[in-house]
Amino acid sequence: MSIRDRWNGLRRRSLDRLARRFCAARAENHAGRPLVSVVFDDIPQSAALEGGRALLARGMRGTYFVAGGLEGGVAADGEPFFTRDDLLRLAGDGHEIGCHTFSHRSMPRLSSTEVMDDLARNRDYLASRLGEMPVHSFAYPYGDTCPRTKRIVRRHFPVARGVYHGINEGALDIAQLRTLAIETCAMHWDMFTAALDRAAATNAWVVLVTHDVRSRPGPWGTTPTDIARVLDEVQRRGIEVQTMAKAHAAVRGGATAPPGLISAAALPVDRQSIA
């Protein structure tokens, strides 16, 4: 690893720590039961097909985080990203469509104006594909955030997640939920099942994150066999699987939060407020 890579890694971790420590959006968990959300970032096509199938076969729904700029593209390893039809099918099947940013750039590296333009562009993209719909959940691209970008996201989305490892128990940071990666190449089953057991005992909210779902997945993906095993482990414990929006409503005691629509009209006001 080069000195530059180490420096960038240290910078990312430091900003993440600052955001969690000084910009937490604390929320009591009123669900009274453990919850699991299964989420897919960027939507490689296999996540839409295999991942969606695995959930639907068990009567479950997931949350898919969309970066509009990736539609119709190809990942570095050659796997196609989602198409417009994939997105329509996912929404039609009842999965939640969540918001990344349009460009999928690391947000702390952008100015506040660039961040809001990127969010608005993704919001417009989603509206062009799915019509005017509530967008409730947000995921920071690469999990990268900082106090400044986290404050912007908090103003527009009721719930957001990063990639900081862990389950969400006790008071939650609703603007930067912790996650457990279920990537095949880094899967430690003993640790995973122990985390589920703890979540069941403490009524925690567990957010499971992956990308592609293929027999030979990329470094951030999961095999169909492993995702089936993950869902079986959750089911065996009787833990409810909900989209992030519905799990958030349960955490709020059954009250659905106002949708996190990014209306074009709101943006100029926000720009002024942080200038």
Site mask for Zn ion (CB under 5 A), range 44-83, x = bound = ----------------------------------------
* 212 sits near Zn ion (criterion: CB under 5 A): no
* Phi-psi domain of 32 (left: phi exceeds 0; alpha: psi -120 through 50; beta: other): left
- If we measure between CA atoms, which residue out of 239, 211, 175, 186 comes closest to residue 64? 211
Give min distance, CB of 32 to Zn ion, in A.
Answer: 32
Tokens 């492993």: give the residue: 226
**Residue 113 Cα to chain centre, angstroms:** 23
Among 20, 27, 42, 69, binds Zn ion (CB under 5 A): 42
In terms of CB distance, is 196 or 244 closer to Zn ion? 244
Among 20, 29, 40, 41, binds Zn ion (CB under 5 A): 41
In terms of CB distance, is 42 or 86 closer to Zn ion? 42
Taking the C-alpha atoms of residue 62 and residue 245, their distance in angstroms, rounded to an integer, is 10
Give min distance, CB of 258 to Zn ion, in A.
Answer: 25
Distances (CA, A) of 269 to 113, 138, 142, 155, 202: 12, 21, 28, 12, 41
In terms of CB distance, is 16 or 42 closer to Zn ion? 42
> Among 42-50, 168-176, 181-189, 265-273, which window interacts with Zn ion (CB under 5 A)?
42-50
Site for Zn ion in 112-171 (CB under 5 A): 141
Give min distance, CB of 99 to Zn ion, in A.
Answer: 11
In terms of CB distance, is 42 or 226 closer to Zn ion? 42
Taking the C-alpha atoms of residue 32 and residue 177, their distance in angstroms, rounded to an integer, is 18
> Among 24-32, 41-49, 122-130, 212-220, which window interacts with Zn ion (CB under 5 A)?
41-49
Please, what is the Cα angle at 226 between 81 and 97, to 5 degrees? 40
In terms of CB distance, is 114 or 169 closer to Zn ion? 114
> Among 33-41, 173-181, 225-233, 260-268, which window interacts with Zn ion (CB under 5 A)?
33-41
* Count of chain residues binding Zn ion (CB under 5 A): 3
Query: Binding residues for Zn ion, per CB under 5 A?
Result: 41-42, 141
